[in-house]
Structure formats: structure tokens, C-alpha cells
Chain A
Amino acid sequence: MTARISDEARAPIPGRRRWAGSLWFALLLASAALTACGEPCETGAVCARTCPPGGAPICAAHGLCACLLAPDAAPTAAEGPEAGPGSIDPGSDAGPTGAGGEEAPAACATPGPGDLLINELMLDGEPTEDAEFVELVNPGPGPVALAGVELTSNRGADQVRRVEFTGGCLPADAALAVFSERGAWVTPGGNPWPVTAELRSFGFANGGDFDFRLVRGEAVIDRVEGSGDVIEPGVSLNRQPDRVGPAMASHRDVDPGGRTASPGRCPGGGRYEEGCPDPPPGGGGGDGGLDMGPGDAGVGEVDPAWGDGGDGGRGSEPDAAVDAGPVFECPLPAPGELRINEVLIDGRVPRTEADEFVEIVNRADGARRMLGLTLAVEGDDGWDPRVVIADGCLPGPGALAVHPDPLDWRFEPPPLDPPVIADARLALGNESRAPIALLDEQGDVLDRFDPGGLSIVEGVSLNRSPDLTGDDWRLHDRLAPGDSSPGTCAGGEPFTVDGCPVEPVEDCAPPTLASLVINEVLVDGAEEGDRDEFVELVNVGPAPLALDGLGLWSSRGDGTLVERVAFERGCLPPGAWAIYGDRADWVGGEAATVSRAERLALPNEAPVVVELRREAEVWRAELPAGFADEGISAVRAVDGDPLAPFVPHDAVSEWPASPGARVDGAPFGEPAP
């Protein structure tokens, strides 16, 4: 299904309609992965970010730092340099950088007249000059080197340099759309030879005669001229016939479908590399799937963008026809395509709620429409909507991290069609543990997250395990370094159609009654006070045990149990830890995170109960009052055997106690002697 953002669907609120986007932005998104720049940076500027091989960090809108990558897979050695196909040099005027600045291979021919064509011009971009572009096409059978090629056009009677190419090639039967924003340059089929260039003046007159030239030294590779009478706002000029004709005509006349522009693509929207097929209906294109057509409304019909289009308005500004802008494929999601993948329920002080988020991932290979998409929390009367998205498109593959404040919402990559928010009241209760659901426009559940029984750690999100595909939920730092990764895979990579990289997961299994043992307890310390009282925990299994949510409880003199230690995170490796009242005295356990660590205060004159609790599991040790003498611990008669009774330590060893070790001082975690 091809969902043009038009009047196909009902508008849940006023102010929703067809999308009309700037081309440069749309194309930028073809393969961008973004993160926030530390400081505001100018769009198109080089910014600070570590990008994967072949990526170039360029500041996009909102101060986001994009890693521009090629849409296709990594190149083979035969295809080109290791930089990665289609990556665009960030455009530092200093010249080629990194992989993007590789010399063009010898296979790329130096172009002569006719080897490169100026095929399409957008001279009066709408809504801004950012939409203006020049499309270059290589009509030949082999790649053409761009180094030394200059694009010039007239300013009055003079020719002004617009672009100076410094490196890279244009593949055979491929097109390059050159925008004023370097990050928006695009070759839809990818380019194994990254193009580098220096941008000069890139603002074209909207009227008057035009004269564009591609030159290399003294040689004119191509030239197109024409009268400004044919320039229309928001409509490009294209060779008529495409790539062949000597004259430039309105794109609408070149494309039987009446589209207004097709930067980097055939007039009908297909790729030159593929012989200009018509774009498949409904399928999301991996590179953004641009469809530049006028949409269902037809050319000239009112396009109210988000608006409802015409309830009168002010008398001084009557309704008027506004040209339709580009539309793109954005069907409603199919079952399973949208998932809740990550949730931060308990934000960290001081931002607390502001940091909380729900990550919605679009697993499809193409954008999916967010019409009526709702995040709801289960309440007494059913699903209570908290966030309602009236419209917009979620990039695919891609993600949206929904925060309470829309200012904090984060798309990866940025959306071609940003959302219209009808309601934004995300508030995730730490205590209620209410399920969260993602609902479609009809109120049907697309996906849900149930935090019941899961450990909730302040500042640490819960993430699907395995990332994106799993049905289990784990604390984020169990999957990858870091407390959360809103908008990306747990490891920070962008979501792809193949999911997320398999991260090396700390294999930290939930403890069982058989694998975790309360092995030794010192109730009455030799020292004055209770400082040397301890409880020894032993992992008798072969794998580390998860400690999140584990609590150590002990009885007071009146028999009531009090939680003394609350583990938040960490794994207990095979072996033993001795837990003291003072964290500094612990034997082992340095890496564990605890939210509480109080003195144990075990009663000397009353029976002692020590329990470990985790969710429904309870490990329990009971000792009668005065079970062992002062300074003598109680220890399992068989070290590490959860079924063995407790005996005074001096009954099985010459030592009074052995915190963190076997009764004979040998370490746990090794085969018993």
C-alpha cells in the first residue's frame, strides 16, 4: 500500500494532511544515524561523532549529528575503497578526509563532453532554497571521475562556480543530486566512490535566463540553458526527453505522472541504475522510497500540509491553491512491525521523569504511518491513553523514543514526515508497574510491555533480550554498556532490517534455590559491636548469577525481618561473597550495585533468620538462639550444600569462621578438594 499523506484517512484532530517535505531533508535520511551534538551546530557542518567505517559525521537538523552512510552493504574490494559505498564526505573544505577522500580508482574515466549530463535543475525550491538542486547523470557504461569537474551557472552575465568536485566517481548509469546542504547529496543506488567537493555559492535566481555548465579545465562537459519563463516554484526543470533532450522542460511535462521533481532518480521515481522502473506500489524503499508525485489530490489542489485546508481563515488571506509537495510511501504498520523495545520507567534524579521514555521501533524496511498511534497505560478502566500521535511517519527501520516532553523526543533516523502530537502525557509510574501498550488507530494492541516482576533500577532502562527480537526483558546494562540507548540498538547502532548486532551478553542467569546458597552466618562477632557479623553467599553453579532484585533480609530480636541489603545490579560469579554490615568489609562483590547496605544487626539472644528474596524465590537459613559461641560462625555441614544443616564452624574446621571461602580456607569456585 502506498500511503500518501493525504486525505486517505480520517484526521483525528484538525490540522493533518498531506506531507510535503523538502527533498534535501528526505534524502539526507536515506541512511543516516543520528545523535545529538553537544552544542548547536550548523546544519551540514562537520560534527563530533564516532561513525562506523564509511560514515561521516554531519550535523543535521536539531543539532543532531548524523553518520551518513550508504544505503547498501559494505563494498567488496572490487567495488571500491573500504570507505563504504555511497558515503558522502562531510564536506570539510579542507578537502578529502578519511576514507571519503580516497583517490578515485583508475577504473573511473576522466569525463569528456557528454560523459556527464546536467539532467535536472530545481531553481526555485519550495519551501526554501534548501530544496534546490542540480542533478548530474552519468549516462555511460563506466564510472566517471569527478575530481576537477566544476559546476557553474550564470549570475547575470557571469559564470559563477557553484561546486568544485575534488574526488570520487559517479558510477555508470547513476545520478547525483547536488543540494546546498552537503548532507543531502544523494545517489539513490549508492556510490562506492565517495564524492568530495567544495561548495561555493549555491543559490539560484528564480527568474531570468539560466545557463548551467559542467566544465573540467577548459573543456565543457555539458551545458544547459533556457529562459526563466519556464521556472515554477517547487517544480524542477528536466531534460525533455529525460537525459536525451537538449532543452529543459517542466518536470511535470517530462514525467507522465506529473511529479514535480525527482532528484537523483528517473522522472517516474525509479532508479537510473535499474533502468528506470516505476517504483513498486506500497513497498518501502530502502533508501527512502521517494515518490515525488502530486499524490491523489492532483497537481494544484490545495495542500494544507498539516492543516485541514480551508475553513475560511482571515478575510485578508483567502484560500488559494498551494502546490502539492512530494509524498512518499508510508503505509500503516502491519502486525509485528512496530515494537516497544526499551522502556525507562524510573528516570535518574534530577531529571527523573524527563528522562523516562518508551522506545518504539519500526522493524519494517520502510516508513510506517503513525496515524492514531497511541501509548497507553493500563488503568482500572482499560487502556489510558498517554501519548497520541495524530499522524506522521516513523522511519523504517528506525525508532522513536517518546519522552514526556516532546522537546526530548528522538527519532533515529529523523523522520521524513515528523509527527503531529495530539496528546503528550507520558508518565510512567515506578510503583504501579502498570503495563504499557502500543495501540493502533482502532485501539488494537500492537505491542505491550509488562514490567510486573521485573527489576526496576533508577536510571537504567529495560530492554528486550535479545535486542529487538526477544520476549524477555533485561536491564540495559546486561545487554550492552550504558544505562539506556533510546532510539538505537542497545549497543548504540542504528536499527536495521536485520535487527541489532548480537552483543556479547554477560551470561548472568537468574539464581535458583540450588545454585545460590546461604552457606555461613556469623551471628555473634568477636569484636565489640556487630561489625564482623556476616552472611556468606555462595554460587555453587558454573555460571554467574544475576543479583538484580535480590534482597538480604535478617530478623531482629522480635522476629520481624528487615531488608539489610538490596542489590540492584551485578553478577555473583561462581564462588562466594561474604556480606558484612559495612560495605567496605565485604569479601567480593565490589562490582555489585546496591541500593541499600545496612548493618546486619543479627540478634544474639533470639533465633536468627536470614533470607534472600528475589521475586517469588526465597532462600532461608534459621539458627536457634546461641547456636554458636561468640566469634564462631554457623556453616553448612557440607560446604555449599543448600540441604545440609548448619553446624558450628569449629566443629568442621580448625578455624572459627571462613568468610568468602570454604571451611578449610580454600576458595569456592574451584572443585572441592
Chain B
Amino acid sequence: MHDWQSWTALAIVVLTIVAFIFRAKRRAKKEARGCGDCGSGKFS
């Protein structure tokens, strides 16, 4: 863990975890947003 590549990779991993937490919170507030794969089923 002494080179810049290791630290940058670790920072990306931490940022990804933070992004997942934000995503989960945001999605919990909204109703069913349809299929993540094909976008089907987005409805009012």
C-alpha cells in the first residue's frame, strides 16, 4: 500500500461504497422505477 496506484484504487472502492449507500437511500424514497436492465415498467 505504498504506491499511488494502491491508494487510488482504494479511494475508488470507498467512493463506490458511498455511491451505493446514496443510491439505496434515493431509491427507497421513490416508488417502483421499473426494470434496471431494460427500463420497462416505468409508470405513474
Does B bind A?
no
